């Protein structure tokens, strides 16, 4: 009986050691291939945009990302528009590297000042997601307040669904990639679940410290949106600086 118990215990210990070895090996593999390489990056992206409500406009996007540890990422995004519609967005993303992919939380305070239509647009979002080599997805919640400049009442939306799915043609750590994304948010806007954004993006790392990026984004007419006629399309190209 004692021998049998000893054998069972040894088998359990071997299984635990095997599991830890596989887990550490997968994590180390992710680190070595660049999936979690620490970096600080800055990006500038001019945009041309057209939509039914605001017609043609030019936007200028500034974005910085701090990811000095595999377990946390902080992003700041600013957008200035020729139509006096300006946006600031922060994203706090705790991350958990796993043997296969990465689990993450995403907290996003967002504020847009619409001088053209004289309205404040403030929102806060929280979501959970998972990132694989060729696929990323997340789902969550957001609430928002729309407040006119004159203070005459406000509109609130406290129970909205947040979602996003992105497919890549190559592993995400590759030096170039093309992706297709469907979601109701990006760094510069958050929409109701019924008004998705479709984005085709590409990037190419010229060398270790410089990245080129481009993208096209389409927002079809939504159902029940505050701006239901807000069809739009945006084209952007950018250059980024990556600091290790």
Encode 39-88 in three state secondary structure. EEEEEEEEEEEEECCCEEEEEEEEEEEEEEECCEEEEEEEEEECCCEEEE
pLDDT reading at 87 higher than 90: yes
* Average pLDDT score, the chain: 82
Mean predicted confidence (pLDDT) in 145-174:
90
**Whole-number Å distance between alpha carbons of 201 and 194:** 22
160, 192 contact by CB (below 8 A): yes
pLDDT score at 5: 54
This prediction's pTM: 0.79
Is the pLDDT higher at 96 or at 13?
Answer: 96
The CATH code belonging to domain 34-243 is 2.40.230.20
Confidence of residue 21 (pLDDT cuts 50, 70, 90): very low
pLDDT score at 10: 53
**Residue reference for tokens 């528009």:** 81
Least confident of 3-17, 61-75, 143-157: 3-17
**Residue reference for tokens 């159902």:** 223
- Token pair of 97, please? 């590297």
pLDDT reading at 222 higher than 70: no
pLDDT score at 77: 95
Where do the structural domains in the chain lie, given as residue ranges? 1-32, 34-243
35-76 confidence digits (pLDDT tens): 556 788 999 999 998 877 777 889 999 999 998 888 999 999
pLDDT reading at 24 higher than 60: no
pLDDT score at 143: 94
């Amino acid at each position: 009986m004692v021998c049998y118990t000893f054998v069972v215990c040894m088998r359990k210990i071997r299984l635990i050691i095997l599991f830890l070895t596989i887990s550490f090996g997968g994590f180390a593999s992710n680190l070595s291939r660049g999936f979690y390489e620490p970096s600080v990056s800055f990006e500038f992206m001019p945009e041309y945009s057209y939509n039914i409500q605001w017609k043609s406009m030019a936007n200028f996007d500034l974005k910085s990302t701090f990811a000095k540890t595999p377990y946390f990422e902080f992003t700041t995004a600013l957008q200035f528009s020729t139509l006096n519609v300006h946006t600031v967005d922060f994203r706090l993303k705790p991350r958990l590297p796993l043997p296969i992919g990465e689990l993450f939380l995403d907290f996003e305070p967002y504020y847009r000042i619409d001088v053209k239509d004289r309205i404040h647009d403030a929102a806060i979002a929280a979501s959970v997601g998972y990132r694989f080599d060729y696929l990323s997805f997340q789902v969550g919640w957001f609430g928002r307040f729309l407040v006119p400049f004159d203070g005459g009442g406000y509109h609130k939306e406290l129970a909205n669904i947040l979602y996003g799915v992105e497919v890549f043609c190559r592993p995400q750590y590759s030096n170039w990639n093309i992706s297709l994304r469907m979601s109701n948010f990006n760094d510069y806007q958050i929409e109701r679940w019924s008004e998705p954004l479709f984005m085709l993006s590409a990037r190419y790392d010229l060398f270790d410290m410089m990245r080129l990026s481009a993208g096209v984004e389409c927002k079809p007419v939504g159902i029940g949106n505050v701006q239901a006629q807000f069809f739009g399309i945006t084209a952007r190209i950018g250059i980024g600086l990556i600091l290790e």
